[in-house]
Amino acid sequence: KWTPEVKHFCPNVPIVLVGNKKDLRNDEATKKELMKMKQEPVRHEEGRNMAEKIGAVGYLECSAKTKDGVREVFEHAARAALARKK
């Protein structure tokens, strides 16, 4: 829903799609809550497909709680921003 607006107002800004709360993907309590709503955690492949669909320069996942992947998200975003300026 938000990508057309971003592309309109920031046409030269690269988009990096980030899946947050990666640690909850295998959390049983979270899975039970999602099942009550007939939902499930987003799979990595689904995130990658969405990134491709919206024209993102990448898809990464991270968990602020465990710090897994956080550094990579910032590094990827910085590289994407610097590469676009050339």
Third-level CATH fold of 9-85: Rossmann fold (3.40.50)
pLDDT tens for 28-70 read 999 999 999 999 999 999 999 999 999 999 999 999 999 999 9
Between the CA of residue 26 and those of 11, 37, 38, 45, 70, what are the distances in Å? 36, 17, 16, 16, 18
pLDDT of residue 47: 97
The residue ranges of every structural domain in the chain are 9-85
Q: Which residues contact 83 (CB under 8 A, 6 or more apart)?
A: 14
3-state secondary structure (DSSP) of residue 17? strand
pTM of the model: 0.86
